């Protein structure tokens, strides 16, 4: 797949849309300007790749809306070299954004087909991450603690294991709520046993599911 002046132009317009909607984190917008989102689509759907919309990626899942990716990435505020865990690899687009922002990224997906696709494509395109097939509710205890954790599916509650696997001072960004809408929570771990929760806005994610396929 090619990234040419046409797709770059479409991307530039998308970045302008995101700025108008209130995203002002330059590092995030620069990285989203660099990553060809259409690589994550089947070629026949190229024309949809730069709409500010979620889009089906197979297995009943979607690539998150660009605004949502920009919003969650801004909240995470990645510093180079930080150890970050993503729950819900999906297309791998959010993972590519985090990797390009300098995160040492670990990402988990519960759908085997999506896991395999992302694991083979991202390194090919130059995005480094470690891919895991498993259940995000459990996190990744063998690689904990993490400085940041991002959940990219709508969770019915905050999984205990994810808080446990944060550093003190670490941040969990997670949409929590019902199947239709969730509140984006910004959770800071303040001590071994305490954390502080802030609520930022309403979003609509595909659900975080238990048990594998
Ligand atoms: N970050 C992705 C968003 C994909 S949608 C992207 O940029 O494309 C959310 C993803 O979370 C789906 O692929 C879904 O299969 C996955 N998911 C849902 N429940 C999960 C769980 N318990 N553990 C890991 N992944 C899960």
Which of 160, 95, 155 shows the shortest CA–CA distance to 131? 95
- Measured from the CA of 137, which atom of ligand 1 is nearest? 22
Asked if 145 and 81 touch (Cβ cutoff 8 Å), the reply is: no
Residue 172 contacts by C-beta under 8 Å, 6 or more apart in sequence?
Answer: 148, 149, 150, 151, 158, 162, 163, 166, 185, 186, 187, 189
Q: What is the CATH number of domain 5-203?
A: 3.40.50.150
Ligand 1 mutation target, pool 88, 155, 160, most atoms within 8 A of CB: 88
Does the C-beta of 90 come closer than 6 Å to ligand 1? yes
Asked if 98 and 76 touch (Cβ cutoff 8 Å), the reply is: yes
Q: Model confidence over 126-168: pLDDT tens digits? A: 999 999 999 999 999 999 999 999 999 999 999 999 999 999 9
Ligand 1 mutation target, pool 38, 109, 150, 213, most atoms within 8 A of CB: 109
The model's pTM is 0.97
Is the pLDDT reported for residue 28 higher than 80?
A: yes
Confidence at residue 87, expressed as pLDDT on a 0 to 100 scale: 98
Sorted by where each begins, the domain ranges of the chain are: 5-203
What average pLDDT does the segment 46-64 reach? 94
């Amino acid at each position: 797949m090619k990234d040419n002046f046409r797709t770059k132009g479409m991307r530039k317009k998308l970045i302008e849309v995101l700025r108008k909607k209130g995203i002002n984190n330059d590092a995030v917008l620069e990285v989203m300007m660099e990553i060809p989102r259409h690589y994550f689509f089947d070629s026949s759907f190229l024309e949809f790749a730069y709409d500010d919309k979620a889009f089906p990626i197979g297995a009943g899942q979607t690539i998150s809306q660009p605004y949502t990716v920009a919003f969650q990435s801004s909240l995470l505020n990645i510093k180079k070299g930080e150890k970050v865990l993503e729950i819900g690899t999906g297309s791998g687009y959010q993972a590519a954004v985090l990797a390009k922002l300098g995160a040492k990224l670990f990402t988990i997906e519960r759908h085997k087909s999506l896991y395999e696709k992302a694991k083979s494509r991202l390194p090919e395109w130059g995005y480094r991450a470690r891919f895991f097939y498993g259940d995000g509710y459990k996190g990744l205890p063998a690689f904990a603690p993490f400085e940041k954790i991002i959940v990219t599916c709508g969770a019915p509650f905050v999984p205990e294991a994810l808080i446990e696997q944060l550093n003190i001072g670490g941040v969990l960004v997670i949409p929590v709520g019902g199947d239709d809408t969730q509140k984006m929570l910004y959770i800071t771990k303040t001590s071994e046993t305490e954390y502080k929760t802030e609520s930022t806005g309403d979003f609509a994610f595909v659900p975080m599911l238990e048990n594998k396929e």
